[in-house]
Amino acid sequence: MAGETTSEDSRDSVTAEDVMSSLSTPQQLPKLETIKLTESTYILWKHQVLIIIEGYGLLDFLFEHTTPPKDITNTAGQRVVNPVFSMYLKQDKLLASWLMSTVSADVLPHLTGLRTARAIWSSLSRLYAARSTAKQSSLRHSLHSQKKRGLTVTEYLAKIKLICDSLNASGNIVSEQEQVSVILSGLTAEFESVLAIASKEPQSLENLTEMLIDCEMRQKDFLAADFSVQANVAVKQDSKRLTTSEDLEEEYSVANASLTSSGFSKGDQRASNSYRGRGRGCFNSNRPQCQICERFGHLAQKCWYRYEQGYPGNGSGNNVSKSNYNV
């Protein structure tokens, strides 16, 4: 509201008497379970410590104000110990001791020689405030650089949430809409349908999460079904090739036996077997060779030229006639 002044705005004008006027006796802060100050916890530590100190009415001990004089002149004109100073000094030592109990052992060496709450607070602020700002900047850059790539949807969302939580804890708030925007910008092409929907109408983080998980599950189901179909096709093709090979082998054996019994000489038979062996070596498909036209792929009884007496393969030299092929 206009005209309002906060306690921070008016601290420069606060005197020691103002600070101690609300305290009848020095306040002993209890041992609370607080987050210890480390390299990575400054923002959280600062937040909780300020709340506790403000709750005890001691916040002004951490900031600039006039320290009460050690001695004052009484009504009789004599110099005496200032009772306000004594109470102020005791309260300041109690607060300084409590502050040091909230930092980790690694931080304590930085506080060596500091004897007032204000000095301790100022030293810690100088030491960690700049580091905290740099860390926030680094986290924001990391947040907007996230890509899903090979991660699952759950892993991708969890990674982004962790960065957002770290920024929020440091006081650098990430809105839900910004988090949604970051998630969408890092998606892969497989989620084009989700991107299309989100581009038409803003989505809440909860709705977007459900959409992404559902889309991922449908992709997995599709891939599983496609793999099953491909596997069945491969099995059928292998079975067909095996059957064809066995049929050709059997057909060749029958034809060879028929030719042998029909008058082929031993030399012819050896030549046939020898040629058969060479054919196998050159062609793994076991393709038979016709004894009439000498072409591969069929046997004599299926040759188109088996009835043509004038065809070179039907000469007397081959001892092959229609009867030889059981026509």
Q: Count of CB atoms within 10 A of residue 146's CB?
A: 16
Residue 317 has pLDDT above 70, yes or no: no
Of 59-63, 130-134, 153-157, 217-221, minimum mean pLDDT range: 130-134
> Which residues have C-beta within 8 Å of that of residue 198, sequence separation ≥ 6?
180, 184, 208, 211
Residue 17 has pLDDT above 70, yes or no: no
pLDDT at position 148, please? 95
What's the angle, vertex CA 111, arms to CA 51 and CA 125, rounded to 5?
Answer: 45
pLDDT tens column, 261-316:
544 444 444 444 444 444 444 444 567 888 888 888 888 777 877 766 655 555 54
pLDDT at position 210, please? 96
Give mean pLDDT, residues 131-146.
91
Residue 319 has pLDDT above 50, yes or no: no
| 218 vs 235: which has the higher pLDDT | 218
pLDDT at position 309, please? 61
pLDDT tens column, 73-84:
888 888 998 888
Residue 53 has pLDDT above 70, yes or no: yes
pLDDT at position 257, please? 53
pLDDT at position 225, please? 62
- Dihedral of alpha carbons 223, 228, 230, 231, sign: positive
Closest CA to 23 of 76, 88, 73: 88
What's at 30, amino acid-wise? P
> Which residues have C-beta within 8 Å of that of residue 47, sequence separation ≥ 6?
171
Phi, psi at 37, each rounded to 5°? -75, 125
Give mean pLDDT, residues 122-138.
88
pLDDT tens column, 169-224:
777 899 999 999 999 999 999 999 999 999 999 999 999 999 999 999 999 887 77
Of 31-35, 71-75, 95-99, 146-150, minimum mean pLDDT range: 31-35
| Burial (0-12, 13-18, 19+ Cβ within 10 Å), 287 | middle
| Burial (0-12, 13-18, 19+ Cβ within 10 Å), 294 | exposed
